[in-house]
Each structure stands twice: as C-alpha cells, then as structure tokens.
Amino acid sequence: MKCGNTDSESSENEELLNNLLKMGVDVDMAKKRQPGVFNRMGTKEQDLKMFLLSKGASKEVIASIISRYPRAITRTPESLSERWDLWRRIMTSDLEIINILERSPESFFRSRNNLNLENNIKFLYSVGLTHKCLCRLLTSAPRTFSNSLDLNKQMIELLQEVCLSLGHNEPRDFVGKIIFKNPFILIQSTKRVKTNIEFLQSTFNLNNEQLLILLCGPGAKILDLSNDYVSRNYTNIKEKLFSLGCTEEEVHRFILSYPDVVFLGEKKFNDKIDCLIEEKISVSQIIENPRILDSSISTLKSRIKELVNAGYNFSTSNITLLSWSQKRYKAKLKKLNTEQNIVLGN
C-alpha cells in the first residue's frame, strides 16, 4: 500500500499541479473528482484560462470551473471555440454561457462531440422547439445535447404519436409545451414516459381532452419520474386521505388540481397532513388548497401559531396564506397584528 501510494504520487504531472495552484484551483477537490487528469501530460490549462478570459470569465470563476470539472483542461482551443459557437446559436451572449459554466461546468465540458451537439440543435429546432425552449434545455438539462441524435428522435416521435392518438392535430405545439414544462424528459427512457402516460389516463379515468390538458400543463413534470415511485406515492396519498374520510373522487380532484403532490414521498406527505390536522385544519381545506403542502412542517407550524395569536380564524378564513412567499406573508401578519391591537385598544 505504501509503495502504491508513492507510485501514484510520483506519476502526477508536477508542472500541472504548480500551474493549477497558481491559478487558484482547489487541487484537493479536483483530485477527488477526476484524479486521472493529474497523470496526464500535455494538458491545456493555460489555453483554457486564456480562452475563458477572452469570453469574460473572471480568474475566480475559471479556478472554480477547473476545481469542479478538471477534465476541462484536456479540451483543445479549437474544440472549445467550435463548441462555444454552437452554444451561441442558443444563448444570446457570452455572459449567459459563463453563468451556466459557473453553475454547472459539466454541461459544457462533459462531451467533446461537437458534431453530435450541432446535429441535436438542428433537429430540435426542426421539430418546432423555440429558442426559449432550447435555452431552458441547455440551462436545466444540458445532457439532452449529449444524447445521441437517435435517442432524442425516439422521444420526440413518441410524444408526437401520443399527441395524434389523443386527437390533437398539432404535434409541434404539443411537444414544445411538454418539453418546456419538463426539460428533463428528453434524458429519460421512452418506456418510462409511455408507462406514466398510461398510468395517468387509466388511474384517473381521463378522456383524451382531459389527458391532453394535464400533459400540456402540470402533469408534464410527472412523466420522467420512476413508474414505481409514481404508483407508490399515489397509493399512499389515496390511503391517507381515505383514512380521513375522503372519497375517491375527492382524492382524484386533489391530485389533478396539483400533480406536484405526487413528488412528495410517503413519510413527508403523511407528516404534513398529520401536522395540519393536529393544528385544526380540516381535510376539506387541504384538498381545496393543496399548495400549502409545499411548505415545510416547521414553516406550517410557526405560521399557524403566529396567525392564531394574531386572531386569525382558520375555520372561517382562507388557509392559502400558509403557502405565501415570506415577504407577502410577513406583510399580511403585520396587518393582522395591527388590526388586533386596534380592536384590543392597545
């Protein structure tokens, strides 16, 4: 073991280490992420630095990029320039690209196949995706452009077939809406997406028009979830609400009005429902205002306590303010406290 470690250390490129340290790179982080880079000769860290500086990146940003994705220093200036030009077909400025690299350097440097990137961009534009939609894909799901062209074609063709089978004659519009709502769908399997669509239609007994509306709206986010995860969480939601006296119709209305609830794991969903019931919020109020489940349990408890102390009556008043933004909620709470002080004569 001792001998092995010594050999590993001696095989590292000393010149590279010195260069990276001078550039402010977190070498320890970089070694943990991609240790093989440090055994390579002929790396291009100086070329990378000069290229990114020319595009407006600061030295600190460049150091951060290399620390988190050291393989970036293996890319040639020619490849970088070509890839940058391709990204600029989607992004409106160099600064936008720099901001993405700062958040997710892997999205730019992970693949060196510029021809595949170019072909995917051309294809996605050809099927009707807008510039805005491609920007969303690049910032949220950049792996889309590392997919083989065939994989992206398979998913687009599936979505087009679903659209036509539901009686909608504008597949370009349908595909664009789903991908904009759920930019991660192109990096999932067609089997998963197809199974989830079938689950939604059969479980909620939706007609074609209802399913179209759901898929083009909030239901699009569900399509790339694990089929088991969707089914398990749906079953848990149903059983929990049944135990509180809800009918199947009410359960379906609850989920369809806010499909994001399916993302909540079993324990988290049950704990939030129990918390609200304990605080005298009725299950009918929860069903009518499902967005309150976005808030954490600690937030729900503290807000309920503050509002009750301010004289707010949940049995006769709306509970939507439990899910308001902090700024909006604080303003409302301040107003309630002021009104209560006036009534009490303080």
40, part of any domain: yes
Q: Is the per-residue pLDDT at 239 higher than 80? A: yes
Q: To 5 degrees, how large is the angle CA 157–CA 160–CA 164?
A: 140
CA distance 233 to 225: 11
Same domain, yes or no: 136 and 105: no
Question: Which sign does the torsion angle of CA 312, 315, 320, 325 carry?
Answer: positive
pLDDT recorded at residue 123:
96
313, part of any domain: no
**Which DSSP symbol is given to 23?**
T
Q: Is the per-residue pLDDT at 255 higher than 60? A: yes
Same domain, yes or no: 53 and 126: no
Same domain, yes or no: 44 and 123: no
Enter the pTM of the model. Answer: 0.79
Q: Is the per-residue pLDDT at 245 higher than 50? A: yes
Specify whether the CB–CB gap between 26 and 19 falls below 8 A: no
pLDDT recorded at residue 40:
84
322, part of any domain: no
Q: What is the DSSP string of 40-96?
A: -SS--HHHHHHHHHHTT--HHHHHHHHHH-GGGGGS-HHHHHHHHHHHTTTSS-HHH
Domain stop point among 198, 224, 250: 224
Q: What is the mean pLDDT of residues 257-266?
A: 92
Q: What is the mean pLDDT of residues 26-48?
A: 90
Same domain, yes or no: 77 and 132: no
10, part of any domain: no
**Which DSSP symbol is given to 147?**
S
pLDDT recorded at residue 161:
95
Tokens at 57, concatenated: 């990146």
Same domain, yes or no: 62 and 140: no
Same domain, yes or no: 88 and 30: yes
pLDDT recorded at residue 342:
77
pLDDT-derived band of residue 57, with 50, 70 and 90 as boundaries? very high
271, part of any domain: no
CA distance 288 to 318: 10
Its domain, for residue 87, covers 17-109
158, part of any domain: yes
pLDDT recorded at residue 29:
94
pLDDT-derived band of residue 9, with 50, 70 and 90 as boundaries? very low
What average pLDDT is seen over the chain?
90
CA 146 centroid distance within chain: 18
Q: What is the pLDDT of residues 107-142, one digit of tens each?
A: 899 888 999 999 999 999 999 999 899 988 988 888
Same domain, yes or no: 96 and 146: no
Domain stop point among 77, 109, 141: 109
pLDDT recorded at residue 1:
35
Same domain, yes or no: 35 and 60: yes
**Number of CB atoms found within 10 A of residue 178's CB:** 23
237, part of any domain: no
* CATH number of the domain residue 203 falls in: 1.25.70.10
Same domain, yes or no: 117 and 213: yes
Domain stop point among 72, 89, 109: 109
**Total domain count, the chain:** 2
pLDDT-derived band of residue 48, with 50, 70 and 90 as boundaries? very high
pLDDT-derived band of residue 12, with 50, 70 and 90 as boundaries? low
Specify whether the CB–CB gap between 91 and 138 falls below 8 A: yes
Q: How far is CA 318 from CA 98, 185, 338, in A?
A: 44, 36, 19
177, part of any domain: yes
Q: Is the per-residue pLDDT at 346 higher than 80? A: no
Q: What is the mean pLDDT of residues 176-202?
A: 94
Backbone angles phi, psi at 26, to 5 degrees: -80, 90
Same domain, yes or no: 127 and 184: yes
Q: What is the pLDDT of residues 282-310, one digit of tens each?
A: 999 999 999 999 989 999 999 999 998 88
Same domain, yes or no: 139 and 55: no
**Which DSSP symbol is given to 142?**
G
pLDDT recorded at residue 11:
57
Q: What is the DSSP string of 262-323?
A: GGS-HHHHHHHHHHHHHTT--HHHHHH-GGGGGS-HHHHHHHHHHHHHTT--TTTS--GGGG
Same domain, yes or no: 118 and 181: yes
CA distance 178 to 199: 17
**Number of CB atoms found within 10 A of residue 294's CB:** 15
